[in-house]
Amino acid sequence: MTNDGSSVDSLIDTRLDQWKTFGNSRYSVTGQPLGDDVPYMGGGWGDHYGYEYLATMLGNAAESNPNLALGPQFFEGENSIAHDIVAFDHKHGDEIAATGGYGNWGASQNVFGGKRTLCDPVESMLRLMDDPQVIAEGASQVPPVDSFAEEPHLSLRNRARYDAVQQFLTDSTTFAIDPAHEATRIPPLTESGPMNMTRYLTSYRGGDYYTGTLDQGAALGSVLTDAANAGQPPAVGTAEYDHWLERSKRSATIAANFIQGYQEGLNISGDSYQGADTFGNTHAALRHAAGDILSSHVNSLSASLEGHELPGGAFRINSPQGESGYEFRLSRNLVDQIRGKGGGGNGLFTDLAFDQPFDINNTPDDLNDDESLYGGPTALAKLLHASVAGQQIDLTTAAATGDFSSMTAVQDRWAPVLDAITAAPGQARIETSTVLDATNRQLKSLAASGLGALPLGGGINSLDGFSKWVINQGKSGAVNSFLDNVFFTNNVSVAEAGQLSAHQALEVTQQAAIYRAIAASGSYGNPPVDPALFCDAHRGLESFMADGEVIPYDAMTADQQSAFQQYVVGSDGLGSQTAGVFTHSGEALNTARTEREEALKDE
Residues 318 and 244 in one domain: yes
Which residues are within 8 A (CB) of 589 and not within 5 positions of it... i.e. 6 or more apart? 415, 418, 419, 503, 506, 507, 510
The total domain count for the chain is: 3
Cα R_g (the chain), whole angstroms: 26
Beta bridge partners of 34: 26
**Same domain flag for 349 and 409:** no
Does residue 350 sit in the same domain as residue 368?
no
Question: 509, 448 in Cβ contact below 8 A?
Answer: yes
d(CA 83, CA 121): 12
Tell me if 116 is assigned to some domain. Answer: yes
479: confidence class by pLDDT, cuts 50, 70, 90: very low
**Residue 341 sits in the same domain as residue 368:** no
pLDDT, tens digit, for every residue of 81-103?
A: 999 999 999 999 999 999 999 98
pLDDT per position as a tens digit, 412-470: 999 999 999 888 877 665 544 456 677 777 766 666 665 544 444 444 455 565 555 55
Residue 109 covered by a domain: yes
Asked if residue 322 belongs to a domain, the reply is yes
Same domain, 286 and 423: no
The answer to whether position 559 is within a domain reads yes
Residue 464 domain-assigned (yes or no): no
User: Measuring CA to CA, how many Å separate 539 from each of 60, 532, 572?
Assistant: 67, 11, 14
- Among 337, 354, 371, the domain-final residue is 354
Percent of the chain with pLDDT over 70: 80
190: confidence class by pLDDT, cuts 50, 70, 90: very high
Domain containing 348 equals 171-354
Residues 122 and 185 in one domain: no
For residue 490, what pLDDT band results from cuts at 50, 70 and 90? very low
340/385 same-domain check: no
Q: Are residues 513 and 538 in the same domain?
A: yes
pTM value surpassing 0.85: yes
> Is 467 a member of any domain?
no
Is residue 327 a part of any domain in this protein? yes
Which of 338, 354, 370 is the last residue before a domain boundary?
354
Identify whether the C-beta of residue 58 lies closer than 8 Å to the C-beta of residue 82.
no
290-308 per-position pLDDT tens digit:
999 999 899 999 999 976 7
Determine how β-strand 315-318 pairs with β-strand 327-330: antiparallel
Cα 367 from chain centroid?
A: 22
Q: For residues 462 and 521, what is the distance between their CA atoms, to the nearest angstrom?
A: 15
Q: Which of 95, 123, 138 is the last residue of a domain?
A: 138
Q: How far apart are CA 201 and CA 82, in angstroms?
A: 12
3-class SS shares of the chain: helix, strand, coil, % to 5:
55, 5, 40
462 in any annotated domain:
no
Asked if residue 370 and residue 335 are part of one domain, the reply reads no
pLDDT band of residue 273 (cuts 50, 70, 90) is confident
Q: Are residues 53 and 192 in the same domain?
A: no
Helix (H, G, I), strand (E, B) or coil at 167: helix
Whether residue 261 contacts residue 198, with contact meaning beta carbons closer than 8 Å, is answered with: yes
What is 178-200 written as a DSSP string?
A: -GGGSPPBSSPP---B--BHHHH
Confidence of residue 248 (pLDDT cuts 50, 70, 90): very high
Q: Are residues 329 and 367 in the same domain?
A: no
372 and 521 fall within a common domain = yes
Answer for the pair 439, 378: CB distance below 8 angstroms, yes or no.
yes
